[in-house]
Structure 1
Amino acid sequence: MLVRAVTAPGLRRLCRGRRDAAAACFPPGRALLGVRGAEAAVFLQGLLTNDVTQLAAAADGAPSALYAHALNVQGRCLYDVILYRLHGSAGEEPHILLECDSNVLEPFQKHLKLYKIRRKVDISPCPDLSLWAVIPGEQAGDASSSLPKCAGQAVLLTPDPRAEVMGWRLITKKGANLSEIIPGSEVGDVQDYHRHRYKQGIPEGVKDLPPGVALPLESNLAYMNGISFTKGCYIGQELTARTHHMGVIRKRLLPVSFSAPLPKDGIPEGAEILTESGKPAGKFRAGGGDLGIALLRLAHVNEPLCIDVGGDKVKLSANTPEWWPKSAAK
């Protein structure tokens, strides 16, 4: 199996001038599927929103990871996916890993096999591999200057393709010693990883992106480098392309924060969000503690918002993430 590390200038900017642990490694509750074979890229090209050919080419400057969604025929998200290229050159047999929510590993595999037909590809889980999210510490030293050359139990270290603020994705062999792969790193609480995601407004998994419900552009797929509008046809393309060309997106996923005190059982997923005057403003998707992510009408983002939980109004506020493009709707 190919063993390599990928670095980028952006990672240096994330870590420069900081003085605590280089990074925290989190097991994000995701699973890996391997797609291998001569037609792997062509097969995935027709199923995912992003241009898989740029990943499969393995040319100089080609990415090692891509973000994408698998949509249903109505153009709604079924699975959010990060793809990883394991083959090192165009001359090697294509070998691509697909990261998905661990709760939908089996249905995602069935979804792929449904469309496999006679394609020359092998689709199988990867129980011998582990996936880690690697987030730079708040005050780490210049960790990027000593980023490891992945070896031994490491398979791939690459920038998270969704946003620079999400750090790296690391794939290792099962049971790998992380301190040998990333010196000075530590294993963190997975809840801290999810809080980091929610603070940055990065959706992940079936709670944030309910299958058959979430729309890719409302879910900020374009902001997270997860879609190509020039690649050609794929399942669910028609509605997505029409929405893009019309240029009208009235709702988006946004990070939200709650005012204390919070209900003992937390905020129910799917709860309706209202303006102070009682107008519908959106729906809460998921969260942890006082942070979460919600689908909100952009017209109400800057208004006081609340959720009625058992007769009590819980106040919340939304914000626009700093990593969004400058042209993003406010």
Structure 2
Amino acid sequence: MQKLLKVYKLKRQLEIKDVNEEIMLWVLISSTVPNIEEKGVHIYKDPRLVELGYRIISPVSLNESQLIDIFGSNLSISNSEDGYKYLRYKLGVGEGADDLPPATSFPLEANCDYLHGVSFHKGCYIGQELTARVHHTGVVRKRIMPLKFTKEIKDSIEKDTIVNSSDNPKLNLGKLKGTVHNYGLGLMRIKEALDAKILKVGDYEAEVLKPSWWPIEAPREVTVKKEKN
């Protein structure tokens, strides 16, 4: 992010500094969260999905037990990347450069239109024309989708491994973006992957899941009958 922002700074006299040694990022999954700004602690609702909970930004000097004292002992707070990644993968939400490689990922394929990450009512932004064109044509053939494996992944599967149909090994249905436990993320051909039922990813079998938070798609063709007066 620091490197990207510096590209667009141009002649502005701005300092873009690395704050990784100053702040800690936490995830809080709870339906009721107090609105607190105390001791440098800030909490924000994740704008993408309610299931993703809240983000807590705190100074590195505060540990987990101190945060629980602030928010209440009945809350479970964790900065475990593995647990949060598992939650994201079950939901089918890609995040960061590992899941969405810079300069090679399209916003609509990453479900940004479903996750309040792109606006079609304002501009301008880099890539706006292409993004708007794809949106208005209504044709997005590939999207990030969750993969549920039949068993837990013991051996690492190489990133961008081709996902095939179990019935037709030559049929390319998408690419794997990552795995955690028994779930993965893949950039999948939507219709073909859902029709395939059983998928082959390396030595493992999986099924693709259509996320429940995806909007219901309207029929592509609507027949309008004109009534006679």
Q: Normalising to structure 2: TM-score of the pair?
A: 0.83
* 1:124 lines up with 2:10 in the alignment: no
Task: Extract unaligned runs of 5+ from structure 2.
Answer: 220-229
**Pairwise CA distance, 1:324:** 2.0
Match of 1:160 in 2: 46
**Pairwise CA distance, 1:218:** 0.6
Query: Quick one: structure 1 residues 111 and 266, their matched pair in 2 at CA, closer, same or farther if it must change by over 3 Å?
Result: closer
In the alignment, is the contact (CA less than 8 A) between 1:266 and 1:289 conserved in 2?
Answer: no
* 1:133 lines up with 2:27 in the alignment: yes
1:301 counterpart SS class: helix
**Pairwise CA distance, 1:194:** 0.8
Task: Extract unaligned runs of 5+ from structure 1.
Answer: 1-107, 137-142
Match of 2:36 in 1: 149
Match of 2:5 in 1: 112
- The structure with higher relative contact order (CA 8 Å, sep 6+) is 1
Match of 1:305 in 2: 198
Bigger Rg, which one: 2
**Pairwise CA distance, 1:120:** 5.4
Query: Quick one: structure 1 residues 187 and 134, their matched pair in 2 at CA, closer, same or farther if it must change by over 3 Å?
Result: closer
**Pairwise CA distance, 1:274:** 0.7
- Whole-Å separation in 2 of the counterparts to 1:165 and 1:200: 8
Runs of 4+ in structure 1 off by over 4 angstroms are none
Match of 1:289 in 2: 181
- Whole-Å separation in 1 of the counterparts to 2:163 and 2:118: 29
- Whole-Å separation in 1 of the counterparts to 2:101 and 2:155: 21
**Pairwise CA distance, 1:326:** 2.6
**Pairwise CA distance, 1:180:** 2.1
- Whole-Å separation in 2 of the counterparts to 1:328 and 1:206: 32
Q: Aligned-pair RMSD on alpha carbons?
A: 2.1
Query: Quick one: structure 1 residues 147 and 261, their matched pair in 2 at CA, closer, same or farther if it must change by over 3 Å?
Result: closer
In the alignment, is the contact (CA less than 8 A) between 2:26 and 2:77 conserved in 1?
Answer: no
Question: Whose strand proportion is higher, 1 or 2?
Answer: 1
Match of 1:13 in 2: none
Query: Quick one: structure 1 residues 321 and 193, their matched pair in 2 at CA, closer, same or farther if it must change by over 3 Å?
Result: same
Letter in 2 for 1:114: V
- Whole-Å separation in 2 of the counterparts to 1:203 and 1:114: 24
Match of 1:5 in 2: none
2:68 corresponds, among 174, 179, 182, to 179
| Equivalent residues in 2 for 1:23-38, closer than 5 Å | none
Q: Normalising to structure 1: TM-score of the pair?
A: 0.59
- Whole-Å separation in 2 of the counterparts to 1:277 and 1:149: 54
**Pairwise CA distance, 1:200:** 0.5
Work out the number of aligned pairs and report it.
210
Query: Quick one: structure 1 residues 114 and 235, their matched pair in 2 at CA, closer, same or farther if it must change by over 3 Å?
Result: same
